[in-house]
C-alpha cells in the first residue's frame, strides 16, 4: 500500500527482516528517538486503516432468529399447526403459528440482549500497546498502531503488529499462535537473509505472538491485514460461540425431556386411536401433552443468568474472560493469592537504607535537606542510592510525579531524586550498554554501563540472591572480603527488616576493565533498601468473608518469608500466617505426600514453576483453586488453575490471556465479590430451572389426568402453549436475574460435581408440580359440581393453573430467608413480570378474539373466587409446611 499524502510515498516494506534498522527507519520516515508525530499518525491511519483483523460480527441476528425455530419445541409446534390445518381447524392452526412466533420473538430478543451484553464485556478488555510518539512513551489501543510507530516491548507484552526489532536485550517470543512451535524463539536486531522462512526471521516480532523474555524496541512494519497473521486470517478459527458448560448441560437436559415426552405423547395417541376415540381430539391431546412437558425456557434462562451475573461482576471490577469459569467460581474452595499489589497497595515508599557503615531511617519528616546532608557525609549511602537509580526500568520526572513502571522501582527513583540523583544525569557518566531484565526465578536484575574506569555492573535483587553472589562488601572507599560470619550478619539484618513488614532489596556492583561473562559473578555488596508497602484496607474484611464462606486463603509470594509473615499478620490471615513454607521446600514437601498442605498459610520466596506445582497439588487434594498472577511466567499456573485471575492494572498481556478472570482494580476483595456472584448465578439458574420444571410437570399431570380419565380435555393445547410459552417464561427470567440472597456467602462452597438438579431439587419439583395440579384438578371438580357449563369450567381450570404457577414463584425463596422479606420479594423484575403476566391472563376472557381462540369466557364473581382460592392453595400449603419444618427443627435442637 502506498501513502501518497506525505512528501515521499510510504509503503509497508516488503522484506523488513532483511533490511537494517537504519534503512527501515528511513523508508518509514521516522526518527527512532522521537517516534512519529500526532499529525503523521493521523495521516497514516487514514492511509493504512486500523490495525485490526476484522472479525466477522460476533452475533449474527439472522442466524440467531433462525436458531429459535430449530428446537424440538418449534418442530413440535410446526407439526401441530400443520395437523390443525390438515383437520381444517384453521383458527387453531393460525393461533399455534402465532404462539410459535411470539415464543421465537421472546427467545430472540432475550438471547440477543444477553449476547450483546457479553460482547460488550469482551470489548472492555481492549488490548493496548506502548508506543513512542512525539518523543514521549505512552499507551494506545493496539488498533491505533500505524507503520513506522516506535514500540518499546518487554516480557509479558502481546505483540500487536509486525515489528522489526531495532534494539533487543535477550528478547524472545512465543510464536505458537502463528507457527505452532511452543519453545520461545530468540530474537535480535541484526538483519537476516531475505529468503529466511517465517520461523527464521529472528529480527522480527509478529502480530498475535507474545514476548516471553527480555526487552527491546521495534519499529512497526505492517499492521492489520498486511501482517503475517492478517495474511492467514482465513485460517484463524472463529472463536467458539461461547456457550458455557452449564448452558450445554441445560440444553442437553431439555433435549432429553423432549425426547421422552415425544415417546409418551406418541404412545397416548396410538392407544387413544386404538380405543376408537376422536382422532383429532387424540392427536390434539398428544400434542398438548408434549407441549406441556417440554421446558423450552431452559437454555435461555441459563444464558440470561450468566449475562446478567457477568454484568454485575463487572460492576464489582471482575471481568470474566472464560464463560466456563463462572460456574466453577461459585465452587471455589481455595484462593492462592500473591501479595504485592493484590493484598498490599503497591504504593511503595523507601523507609530504610543500610550499608556496611550505618543505617538511615527515612521517616516522613525526613526532608530532602536532611537526606542530602546524610548522603554528603556517607559515601556508601550515596553509592547505594546511585546503584538503585541506575539499575532501574522505571521513569520519574519529579519527586511529586506519579512515574511510569514498577512502583518499587519508582520509589527508588523518588528517593534518588530526593538525594539529587537523577537517572538521566547518572547515565551521562555511565551510559547504558545492556540490561538483564528482572527474572523471578533468579530474583535479580542487572544493568551494564560503560564508565571511565571500564565497565560498571549494577545489580539489585532479593537479598539472599545478591548476598549469595557477593564475594566482597563495599566499605569506606574500597571493599573487603565477605566472609561467612559477615554474610550471616547481613542475612540477620535482612531478617530484621523483613520482620517489620518491609520489602527488602540488596544492591551490589562490580567494576571491571571489560564486560564480565556473567553480570552476577563476584559482586561487591553495597547495601540493603527496605521499602514499605501497606496492606490494602479492605483485605482483612475480605479474608473474614472468605473464611465465613468456607474458602481458604493462602498467600503465595515471591517475597521474603518474614515480610510475608508480617503482612499476613496485619491482614488477619490468623493462625495460618504463622505457618510459612519457603518455595525451595515445596518440592520435598509435596514428594513426601504431605497432608500438611492444608495447614500452610503462606508460601514465600516461591518461583513461578513452584506456583504451578502448588496448584497441581491442591487440585489433586480436591480443591477448586482460584489463583492470582501477573507475570509472564505465571501463565502456566494461571492456566492450570480452574480460575486463573489476572490483574487488570499491573498484569502482563500474557497473564491476562491465560486467565479466566481479570481484576480490573487488582484488589483481593474483588475476588470474593466475584465468588459471590458465581454462587448467585448458579443458584439463580437452579431456581429458574426448578420453577419451570415444576410448572411443566403440573401441566403434564393435568393433561395426563384428563386423557387417562377419558374426560373431555380440561385444558386445550393452545391454552397450554399460552401458559408455557408466554406466561411461565417471564417469572423464570426474573428468577434468573435475581441479585442473590444475603447469606449466600455464609455457606460452604458447593460441591463442583453437584448437578444443577440434585435429589432435593427433583423431589421439590415433583412435590410442587403435584400440588399445583391437585389445586387445578380440584378447581375443575368444583366447577363441575357447581354445574358450570363446559366453557366456564375450562376457563376456571385454565386460570387456576395459570395463577397457581404465578404464585408459585414465591415458593422459590431460600428456606432460611424470611417469608415476607426475601430475595424473591426484593426482586423488582419479578414484580414487573407478575404484573405483566396477570395482565396477560386477565384480559383474554374479556377480549373476544383472544377469548375465542383460547376458548375462554368472561368470569363471574363466583368463578373468580374459585380461581383465586384454589390457585393460592399450593403456595399456602408449601409455606405452612416449610414453616412447620423449621419450627420442628428448631425444637429438636
Ligand atoms: P508477589 O509474588 O506477592 O507479587 P513479589 O512481587 O515480591 O511478591 P517477585 O516479583 O517474584 O515477587 O519478586 C521476588 C523478589 O525479587 C522481591 O521480593 C524482591 O526482593 C526482588 N525483586 C522484585 N522485583 C525486582 C526488580 N524489579 N528488580 C530487582 N529485584 C526485584
Which region holds residue 239: left if phi is over 0, alpha if psi is between -120 and 50, else beta? beta
Percent of the chain surpassing pLDDT 90: 33
Residue 711 above 50 pLDDT? yes
pLDDT of residue 134: 92
Report the chain's mean pLDDT, rounded to a whole number. Answer: 85
Query: Would you say residue 869 has pLDDT above 90?
Result: yes
769-825 residue pLDDT tens: 999 999 999 998 888 888 778 888 889 999 999 999 999 999 988 877 777 788 888
Interval 403-423 mean pLDDT: 89
Residue 659 contacts residue 638 (beta carbons within 8 Å): yes
In order, the DSSP letters of 708-746 are: HTTPPPSS-HHHHHHIIIIITHHHHHHHHT----GGGGG
> Closest by alpha carbon to 775, among 830, 707, 705, 713?
705
Residue 556: the pLDDT is 93
Statement: residue 6 has pLDDT above 50 = no
Whether residue 74 is predicted with pLDDT greater than 80 in this model: the reply is no
CA 793 to chain CA mean position, Å: 54
Predicted confidence band of residue 55 (pLDDT cuts 50, 70, 90):
low
C-alpha dihedral sign at 507, 511, 516, 521: negative
> Which pLDDT belongs to residue 240?
39
The Cα–Cα gap between 389 and 246 comes to 52
Q: Is the pLDDT of residue 671 over 50?
A: yes
pLDDT at 364 over 80: no
pLDDT of residue 59: 56
**pLDDT > 60? residue 483:** yes
The verdict on the CB of residue 154 being under 6 Å from ligand 1 is: no
Q: Whose CA is nearest to atom 5 of ligand 1?
A: 558
Average the pLDDT over each of 578-587, 699-708, 797-806, 822-831 and give the range with the smallest value: 699-708
Measure the CA–CA gap between 856 and 838, rounded to whole angstroms.
Answer: 15
C-alpha cell at 454: 571500564
CA–CA dist 34, 23 (Å, integer): 17
74-88, 301-315, 320-334, 752-766: which has the minimum mean pLDDT?
A: 74-88
| 250-276 average pLDDT score | 78
Tens-digit pLDDT profile for residues 366-386: 566 677 777 777 888 899 999
- Neighbouring C-alpha atoms within 13 Å toward the C-beta of 755: 13
Residues near 40 by beta carbon (within 8 Å), at least 6 away in sequence:
6, 29, 148
At 846 the pLDDT is 92
Q: How confident is the model at residue 854 (pLDDT cuts 50, 70, 90)?
A: confident
Q: Whose CA is nearest to atom 18 of ligand 1?
A: 559
Residue 783, C-beta contacts closer than 8 angstroms, at least 6 positions apart: 792, 793, 796, 797, 863, 866
The answer, yes or no, to whether residue 503 has pLDDT greater than 90, is yes
Most confidently predicted of 116-120, 356-360, 564-568 = 564-568
Extract the C-alpha cell encoding 551.
474458602
User: What crossing angle do the helices spanning 245-274 and 279-293 adopt, rounded to 10°?
Assistant: 160
End-to-end CA distance of the chain: 81
pLDDT at 712: 55
User: Tens of pLDDT along 188-218?
Assistant: 888 888 888 888 888 999 988 888 888 889 9
62, 688, 731 from 301: Cα distances, Å: 21, 7, 11
Q: What mean pLDDT is predicted for residues 474-479?
A: 86
Which pLDDT value is given to residue 485?
Answer: 92
Whether pLDDT at 470 is above 90: yes
Compute the distance between CA of residue 699 and CA of residue 552 in angstroms, rounded to an integer: 45
Distance CA 859, CA 856 (A): 9
Helix (H, G, I), strand (E, B) or coil at 665: coil
630 lines ligand 1 (CB under 6 A): no
> Would you state the pLDDT for residue 713?
55
State the sign of the Cα–Cα–Cα–Cα dihedral 535, 536, 540, 546.
negative
Q: What pLDDT is recorded for position 595?
A: 62
Q: Whose CA is nearest to atom 30 of ligand 1?
A: 461
Cα–Cα distance for residue pair 527/505, rounded to 1 Å = 9
Q: How far apart are CA 214 and CA 212, in angstroms?
A: 7
Ligand 1 and 557: CB distance under 6 A? yes
Ligand 1 contact via 611 beta carbon (within 6 Å):
no
What crossing angle do the helices spanning 668-708 and 790-808 adopt, rounded to 10°?
160
* CB-based contact 175:199 (threshold 8 Å): yes
Quick one: three-class SS letters along 428-461?
HHCCEEEEEEEECCCCEEEEEEEECCEEEEEEEE
Catalytic residues: 338
Cell of 554: 493462602
Residue 334: strand, helix, or coil: strand
| Three-class secondary structure of residue 508 per DSSP | strand
User: DSSP for 5-72?
Assistant: SSSS-EE--S-GGGS-HHHHHHHTT-BTTTBB-HHHHHHHHHHH--S--PPPPSS-HHHHHHHTTSSH
Q: Is the CB of 445 under 6 A from ligand 1?
A: yes
Q: What is the DSSP letter of 177?
A: H
- Point out the ligand 1 atom lying closest to the alpha carbon of residue 630: 4
Residue 362 confidence (pLDDT): 81
Nearest CA to ligand 1 atom 27: 438
Q: Using 50, 70 and 90 to split pLDDT, how confident is the model at 714?
A: low
Give me the residues paired with residue 344 across strands.
535
Q: How confident is the model at residue 732 (pLDDT cuts 50, 70, 90)?
A: very high
> C-alpha cell of 875?
403456595
The answer to whether residues 108 and 64 touch, using CB atoms and an 8 Å cutoff, is yes
827 — phi, psi (to 5°)? -85, 110
- pLDDT of 1 > 60? The answer is no
- Could you give the CA distance from residue 708 to residue 65 in angstroms, rounded to a whole number? 38
Between strands 478-481 and 470-475, the pairing is antiparallel
Share of the chain above pLDDT 70, in %: 93
Does the pLDDT of residue 2 top 50, yes or no? no
Asked if residue 214 has its Cβ within 6 Å of ligand 1, the reply is no
Mean predicted confidence (pLDDT) in 858-877: 92
Does pLDDT of 440 surpass 50?
Answer: yes
- Nearest atom in ligand 1 to the alpha carbon of residue 605 is 14
Q: How confident is the model at residue 455 (pLDDT cuts 50, 70, 90)?
A: very high
Point out which residues pair with 335 in neighbouring strands.
553, 626
Q: Which of 604-608, 781-785, 830-834 has the highest mean pLDDT?
A: 830-834
Locate the ligand 1 atom nearest the alpha carbon of residue 443 and give its number. 16
Q: For residue 560, which atom of ligand 1 is closest to its CA?
A: 18
Rounded to whole angstroms, how far apart are CA atoms 288 and 800? 18
**DSSP type of residue 340:** T
Nearest CA, atom 13, ligand 1 = 558
Q: Residue 426's pLDDT is what? A: 93
Ligand 1 mean position, distance from CA 287 (Å): 68
pLDDT given at position 367: 64
Our answer on whether the CB atom of 462 is closer than 6 Å to any ligand 1 atom is yes
Average pLDDT on 292-301 reads 74
pLDDT reading at 219 higher than 70 = yes
pLDDT higher than threshold 50 for residue 661: yes
| DSSP SS3 for 627 | strand
Name the residue of 343, 462, 520, 523 to mutate for ligand 1: max ligand atoms within 8 A of Cβ.
462
Q: What is the mean pLDDT of residues 305-334?
A: 87
Residue 893 or 871, more confident: 871
Average pLDDT over residues 65-73: 78
Interval 209-233 mean pLDDT: 84
Ligand 1 contact, 597 CB (< 6 A): no
What is residue 129's three-state secondary structure? strand
Q: How many Å lie between the centroid of ligand 1 and the Cα of residue 431? A: 26
| 529 close to 461: Cβ distance less than 8 angstroms | no
- How many CB atoms neighbour CB 170 within 10 A? 17
Q: 548-564 burial, b for 16+ CB within 10 Å, e for fewer? A: ebebbbbbbbbbbbbbb
Other CB atoms within 10 A of residue 861 CB: 7
Give the model's confidence band at 125: pLDDT under 50 very low, under 70 low, under 90 confident, else very high: low
Distance CA 87, CA 269 (A): 16
Ranking 3-17, 251-265, 603-617 by mean pLDDT, the lowest is 3-17
Name the residue among 414, 326, 406, 410 with its Cα closest to residue 156.
406
Say if ligand 1 is within 6 A of residue 533 CB: no
Separation between Cα atoms, residue 762 and residue 163, nearest integer Å: 59
Mean per-residue pLDDT for 119-136? 80
Amino acid at each position: 500500500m502506498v501513502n501518497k499524502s506525505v512528501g515521499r510515498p510510504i509503503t509497508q516494506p516488503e522484506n523488513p527482516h532483511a533490511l537494517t534498522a537504519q534503512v527501515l527507519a528511513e523508508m518509514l520516515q521516522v526518527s527512532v528517538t522521537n517516534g512519529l508525530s500526532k499529525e503523521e499518525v493521523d495521516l497514516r491511519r487514514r492511509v493504512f486503516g486500523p490495525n485490526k483483523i476484522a472479525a466477522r460480527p460476533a452475533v449474527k441476528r439472522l442466524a440467531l432468529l433462525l436458531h429459535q425455530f430449530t428446537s424440538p419445541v418449534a418442530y413440535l409446534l410446526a407439526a401441530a399447526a400443520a395437523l390443525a390445518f390438515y383437520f381444517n381447524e384453521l383458527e387453531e392452526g393460525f393461533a399455534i403459528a402465532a404462539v410459535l412466533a411470539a415464543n421465537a420473538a421472546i427467545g430472540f430478543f432475550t438471547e440477543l440482549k444477553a449476547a450483546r451484553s457479553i460482547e460488550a464485556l469482551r470489548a472492555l478488555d481492549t488490548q493496548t500497546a506502548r508506543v513512542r510518539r512525539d518523543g514521549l512513551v505512552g499507551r494506545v489501543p493496539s488498533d491505533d498502531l500505524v507503520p513506522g510507530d516506535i514500540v518499546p516491548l518487554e516480557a509479558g507484552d502481546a505483540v500487536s503488529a509486525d515489528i522489526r526489532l531495532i534494539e533487543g536485550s535477550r528478547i524472545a517470543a512465543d510464536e505458537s499462535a502463528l507457527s505452532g512451535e511452543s519453545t520461545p524463539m530468540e530474537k535480535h536486531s541484526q538483519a537476516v537473509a531475505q529468503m529466511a522462512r517465517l520461523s527464521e526471521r529472528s529480527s522480527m516480532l509478529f502480530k498475535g505472538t507474545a514476548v516471553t523474555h527480555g526487552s527491546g524496541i521495534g519499529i512497526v512494519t505492517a499492521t492489520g491485514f498486511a501482517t503475517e497473521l492478517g495474511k492467514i486470517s482465513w485460517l484463524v478459527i472463529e472463536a467458539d460461540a461461547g456457550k458455557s458448560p452449564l448452558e450445554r448441560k441445560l440444553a442437553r437436559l431439555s433435549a432429553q425431556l423432549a425426547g421422552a415426552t415425544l415417546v409418551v405423547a406418541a404412545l397416548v395417541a396410538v392407544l387413544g386411536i386404538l380405543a376408537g376415540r376422536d382422532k383429532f381430539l387424540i392427536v390434539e391431546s398428544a400434542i398438548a401433552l408434549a407441549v406441556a412437558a417440554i421446558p423450552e425456557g431452559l437454555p435461555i434462562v441459563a444464558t440470561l443468568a450468566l449475562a446478567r451475573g457477568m454484568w454485575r461482576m463487572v460492576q464489582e471490577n471482575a471481568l470474566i474472560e472464560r464463560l466456563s469459569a463462572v460456574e466453577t467460581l461459585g465452587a471455589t474452595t481455595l484462593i492462592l493469592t500473591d501479595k504485592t499489589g493484590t493484598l498490599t497497595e503497591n504504593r511503595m515508599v523507601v523507609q530504610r537504607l543500610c550499608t556496611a557503615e550505618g543505617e538511615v531511617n527515612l521517616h516522613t519528616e525526613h526532608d530532602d535537606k536532611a537526606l542530602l546532608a546524610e548522603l554528603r557525609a556517607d559515601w556508601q549511602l550515596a553509592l547505594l542510592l546511585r546503584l538503585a537509580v541506575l539499575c532501574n526500568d522505571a521513569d520519574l520526572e519529579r519527586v511529586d510525579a506519579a512515574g511510569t513502571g514498577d512502583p518499587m522501582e519508582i520509589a527508588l527513583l523518588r528517593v534518588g531524586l530526593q538525594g539529587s540523583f537523577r537517572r538521566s544525569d547518572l547515565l551521562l557518566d555511565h551510559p547504558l550498554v545492556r540490561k538483564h531484565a528482572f527474572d523471578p526465578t533468579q530474583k535479580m536484575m542487572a544493568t551494564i554501563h560503560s564508565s571511565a574506569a571500564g565497565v560498571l555492573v549494577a545489580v539489585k535483587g532479593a537479598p539472599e540472591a545478591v548476598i549469595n553472589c557477593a564475594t566482597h562488601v563495599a566499605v569506606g572507599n574500597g571493599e573487603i572480603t565477605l566472609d561467612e560470619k559477615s554474610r550471616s550478619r547481613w542475612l540477620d539484618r535482612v531478617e530484621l527488616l523483613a520482620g517489620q513488614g518491609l520489602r527488602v532489596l540488596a544492591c551490589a556492583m562490580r567494576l571491571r576493565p571489560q564486560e564480565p561473562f556473567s553480570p552476577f559473578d563476584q559482586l561487591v555488596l553495597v547495601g540493603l533498601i527496605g521499602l514499605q508497602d501497606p496492606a490494602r484496607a479492605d483485605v482483612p474484611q475480605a479474608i473474614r468473608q472468605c473464611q465465613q464462606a468456607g474458602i481458604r486463603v493462602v498467600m503465595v509470594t515471591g517475597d521474603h518469608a518474614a515480610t510475608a509473615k508480617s503482612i499476613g499478620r496485619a491482614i488477619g490471615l490468623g493462625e495460618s500466617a504463622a505457618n510459612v513454607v519457603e518455595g525451595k521446600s515445596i518440592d520435598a514437601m509435596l514428594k513426601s505426600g504431605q497432608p500438611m498442605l492444608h495447614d500452610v498459610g503462606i508460601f514465600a520466596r516461591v518461583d513461578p514453576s513452584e506456583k504451578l506445582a502448588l496448584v497441581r497439588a491442591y487440585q489433586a487434594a480436591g480443591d477448586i483453586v482460584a489463583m492470582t498472577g501477573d507475570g509472564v511466567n505465571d501463565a502456566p499456573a494461571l492456566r492450570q488453575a480452574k480460575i486463573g485471575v489476572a490483574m487488570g492494572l499491573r498484569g502482563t498481556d500474557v497473564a491476562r490471556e491465560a486467565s479466566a478472570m481479570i481484576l480490573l482494580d487488582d484488589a483481593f476483595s474483588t475476588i470474593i465479590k466475584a465468588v459471590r456472584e458465581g454462587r448467585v448465578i448458579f443458584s439463580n439458574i437452579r431456581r429458574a430451572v426448578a420453577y419451570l420444571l415444576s410448572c411443566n410437570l403440573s401441566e403434564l399431570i393435568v393433561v395426563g389426568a384428563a386423557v387417562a380419565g377419558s374426560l373431555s380435555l380440561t385444558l386445550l393445547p393452545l391454552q397450554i402453549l399460552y401458559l408455557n410459552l408466554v406466561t411461565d417464561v417471564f417469572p423464570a427470567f426474573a428468577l434468573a436475574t435475581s441479585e442473590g440472597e444475603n447469606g449466600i456467602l455464609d455457606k460452604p462452597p458447593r460441591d463442583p460435581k453437584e448437578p444443577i438438579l440434585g435429589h432435593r431439587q427433583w423431589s421439590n419439583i415433583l412435590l410442587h408440580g403435584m400440588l399445583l395440579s391437585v389445586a387445578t384438578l380440584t378447581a375443575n371438580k368444583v366447577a363441575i359440581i357447581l354445574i358450570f357449563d363446559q366453557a366456564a369450567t375450562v376457563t376456571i381450570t385454565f386460570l387456576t393453573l395459570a395463577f397457581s404457577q404465578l404464585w408459585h414463584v414465591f415458593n422459590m425463596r431460600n428456606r432460611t430467608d424470611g417469608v415476607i422479606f426475601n430475595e424473591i420479594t426484593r426482586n423488582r423484575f419479578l414484580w414487573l413480570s407478575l404484573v405483566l403476566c396477570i395482565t396477560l391472563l386477565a384480559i383474554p376472557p374479556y377480549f373476544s378474539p383472544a377469548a375465542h381462540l383460547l376458548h375462554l369466557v368472561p368470569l363471574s364473581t363466583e368463578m373468580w373466587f374459585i380461581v383465586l382460592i384454589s390457585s393460592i392453595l399450593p403456595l399456602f400449603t408449601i409455606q405452612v409446611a416449610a414453616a412447620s419444618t423449621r419450627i420442628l427443627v428448631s425444637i429438636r435442637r
